[in-house]
Chain A
Amino acid sequence: MTDQITHISLGRAGQSAEQLSALMDGELAGDQMRFLLRGIEAEPDLAQRWSRFHLIRAALRHEVVVMPLRADFSANILGRLDGEAIAATTIGARRHGMVRWVGGGAIAAAVAVVALVVSGPVGDNGLPGGKSSSGTFAAQGAPSATVRGAYLPLRPANTLQKPELVLPASDETILQNLYAPDGSVMPRDYFSQGAEPYVLYVNPQTHRVDAPLPVQSGAPQK
């Protein structure tokens, strides 16, 4: 009867403490243990009680000399482990970012290689099949049907020391026509017959053309 009254009078914290006592005796079911572990997070006193219950056991069993440890003994360990976990997460994120950056670079490089391979040799006279040389026009494969018709300054790749402009990946860089350095439009034939590769730099900020340029046709005028 006394046991029942005491049991009923136990509050929620008391019930958790009783479960803790049962847990250390291995007399708590798995589900109850799971709930109790959640409770320990909400009630830090339970963890301290667990320590003291084991201290009592150690004393009663003469297992070890009962000597008080630092008050933050366990908290210090868990704090260090949390710190390691945060550090590991940060390093992982950095590595992930690096992988993404390198991956983006690899894709860009692959596109550049494909562009170089697709472009066939052009002779000094600008006709296909001839010896390659530092030609005066560039080819830009432009599968899109949309024509913007903006003049784009062209420079041979080997004359470029350092890229002046870096395009964000999201920018549209759709070029449909071939232009000679003087601004004349190259015939489409050259496009299909091959062309000297050039690196094309486009700055959408400085080369934005609102009004469409007249589409020219015909052979290059030198």
Chain B
Amino acid sequence: MGETDDLDRALVERVQKGDKRAFDLLIRKYQHKLVSVISRYISDWSECQDVAQETFIRAYRAIGNFRGDSQFYTWMYKIAINTAKNYLVSQGRRPPKDDIAVDDAMLLDGGAWLKDRATPEHELMRQEIEQTVFDTVEQLPEELKTAITLREVDGLSYEEISEKMGCPIGTVRSRIFRARDAIDQKLRPLLSDTQGHDHD
């Protein structure tokens, strides 16, 4: 999506100027996606996270060379694949010969891959989180539910949502935030239960 590219570019520029807060946002934005990619190469969840962290460190060191010719995520994806392969070699394991192209990786159901490998505890956690998100969306007031659905599922911009819902852009922005905030309130206890634990 265009706004993702623009946002990433803006954040990368700030990182290149030495703003680590911007890099923090990039980490938090892509951490789940990258761990998911790495999990195709490394089955252990703890190792996946280690390799993902190493990926971000390498990306930070090399970010001065990132010129924006490709999407930031595509660039990160390649670093993640290389880091995962190097990790396997360092462990005396053989990395897979065939890579999954980044575009294919986006289309593939990474969920199925991880679901197969997840421990019962992880699987339970995953189901609980996803269920909480969808249940909360269902319980939202209609205007909030419509706004968040048009944004997250249909991928419309605020202006497009504004036209569809017949309200000012400021209202769209507010509704989307309130919907997210409502879901976040429900999600927070679940995640705070897990904080401090190493989900291996």
Q: Say if the beta carbon of B49 comes within 8 Å of chain A.
A: yes
Chain B residues in 8 Å Cβ range of A61: 152-153
Chain B residues in 8 Å Cβ range of A53: 180, 184
* Given A33-B10, A59-B133, A77-B53, also A65-B118 (CB < 8 A): yes
CB atoms of A52 and B32 under 8 A apart: no
CB atoms of B21 and A37 under 8 A apart: yes
Q: Say if the beta carbon of A207 comes within 8 Å of chain B.
A: no
CB atoms of B191 and A54 under 8 A apart: no
CB atoms of B31 and A73 under 8 A apart: yes
CB atoms of A67 and B180 under 8 A apart: no
- Interface segment out of the listed B64-72, B75-83, B89-97, B121-129: B121-129
Chain B residues in 8 Å Cβ range of A50: 25, 28-29
**CA–CA, A25 and B180, complex, Å:** 12
Most A Cβ at <10 Å: residue of B4, B14, B122, B177: B177
Q: Say if the beta carbon of A173 comes within 8 Å of chain B.
A: no
Q: Say if the beta carbon of B87 comes within 8 Å of chain A.
A: no
B-side interface residues, number (CB < 8 Å):
71
Contact of B178 among A6, A60, A77 (CB under 8 A): A6
Q: Which residue of A lies closest to B3 (CB)?
A: A26
Chain B residues in 8 Å Cβ range of A27: 3, 157-158, 173
CB atoms of B49 and A69 under 8 A apart: yes
Contact of B28 among A41, A59, A74 (CB under 8 A): A74
Chain B residues in 8 Å Cβ range of A60: 133-134, 137, 148, 152-153
**CA–CA, A50 and B171, complex, Å:** 21
* Given A22-B177, A49-B184, also A71-B195 (CB < 8 A): yes
Q: Which residue of B lies closest to A81 (CB)?
A: B60
CB atoms of B49 and A73 under 8 A apart: yes
User: Which residues of chain A from 47 to 80 have any CB-CB distance to chain B below 8 Å in the complex?
Assistant: 47, 49-71, 73-74, 76-78, 80
Q: Which residue of B lies closest to A38 (CB)?
A: B21
Q: Say if the beta carbon of A172 comes within 8 Å of chain B.
A: no
Give the interface residue-count category, chain A: 35 or more
Contact of B35 among A24, A25, A69 (CB under 8 A): A69
Chain B, interface SS category: helix
Contact of A67 among B24, B45, B187 (CB under 8 A): B45
Chain B residues in 8 Å Cβ range of A37: 14, 19, 21-22, 25
CB atoms of B31 and A69 under 8 A apart: yes
A25 vs chain B, min Cβ distance (A): 6
Q: Which residue of B lies closest to A73 (CB)?
A: B31
User: Which residues of chain B from 1 to 49 have any CB-CB distance to chain A below 8 Å in the complex?
Assistant: 1-4, 6-7, 10, 14, 19-25, 27-29, 31-33, 35-36, 45, 49
CB atoms of A54 and B32 under 8 A apart: yes
Contact of B36 among A65, A78, A81 (CB under 8 A): A65
Chain B residues in 8 Å Cβ range of A182: none
CB atoms of A80 and B184 under 8 A apart: no
Known A68-B129, A71-B195; 6 more pairs at CB < 8 Å: A24-B7, A37-B19, A50-B29, A56-B183, A63-B110, A64-B111
Binding site for A on B (CB under 8 A): 1-4, 6-7, 10, 14, 19-25, 27-29, 31-33, 35-36, 45, 49, 52-53, 56-57, 60, 110-111, 114-115, 118, 122, 125-126, 129-130, 133-134, 137, 148, 151-153, 157-158, 167, 170-171, 173-178, 180-181, 183-184, 187-188, 191, 194-199
For the complex of A and B, the 3 pairs showing the least CB-CB separation, nearest first, are: A26-B3, A71-B195, A21-B177
